[in-house]
Amino acid sequence: MDKNQKQEKIVSMFDEIASTYDVTNRVLSMGIDKSWRKKGCDKTFELLDRSEGLTVLDVACGTGDMLQWWRDRGAAAGATFQRFIGVDPSEGMLEVAKEKVDYAEFVVAKAQDMPIEENTADILSISYGIRNVVDRQEAIDEFYRVLKPGGMVVILEFTKREERGLKGKIVDFYMHSILPRLGGLVSRNYEAYRYLPDSIEGFLTTDMLKKELENAGFTMQYTESFSMGISTLLIAKK
């Protein structure tokens, strides 16, 4: 299977689980992902050197969850917004997003090839999506292109853990034994939730992802690991 076929298979999978995606995410994370998203937004507004007329671009936006967090946490931080843009290659996901988020523009596109003008966004986020981008370095280069100077790229992701002690074994048991069964039960799509732990195992460590961001020209600003290393927040500046 070549890279294009692999990417299309992933997109098709997300089309299939779009209608149950939000519910399944809440069940699998037991709602903890809300605190991860909140921290990502709040820390970004703390680090960003501007707060008025912001443009937020959420890549692999899925059902639009993160766009809602940006609006709500931005309001709490006193920020004002000019535009919200959601980009995703899955039309099924975007159909759900349009029902939830009526203040954003939505674009069907891949992360590595976005029809967005350069120097457009003040904040670019991708939450649990960079792992699913086959041409990852091309996508990161594209993030750099569409961000304004001084803009922030914000990544939340399940990075590969290097530690394999007791905590690592507990996390592995959940990810490989419980999550696929529970996700499959809620979504009725067992293949999609078998894919998740496998995709994490085949992904990067946090340090490797930092290196790819730096190779694209970004300067790291902040990194934090959550819940025994299950999730990682990375914020970098153009």
Binding site residues for S-adenosyl-L-methionine, as ranges? 63, 88, 127
Please, are residues 141 and 69 in contact by the beta-carbon 8 Å criterion?
A: no
The annotated binding site is made up of 63, 88, 127
Tell me the CA distances in angstroms from 116 to 29, 136, 148, 234, one per residue in order.
32, 18, 12, 23
27 membership: H or E segment, kind and range: helix 21-29
Any bridge partners for residue 127, and if so which? 156
Please, are residues 168 and 162 in contact by the beta-carbon 8 Å criterion?
A: no
Please, are residues 73 and 36 in contact by the beta-carbon 8 Å criterion?
A: no
Can you say how many angstroms the Cα of residue 138 is from the centroid of all Cα atoms in its chain? 16
Tell me the CA distances in angstroms from 191 to 81, 83, 128, 132, 185, one per residue in order.
39, 36, 18, 15, 11
Helices (H) and strands (E) in the chain, counts: 10, 7
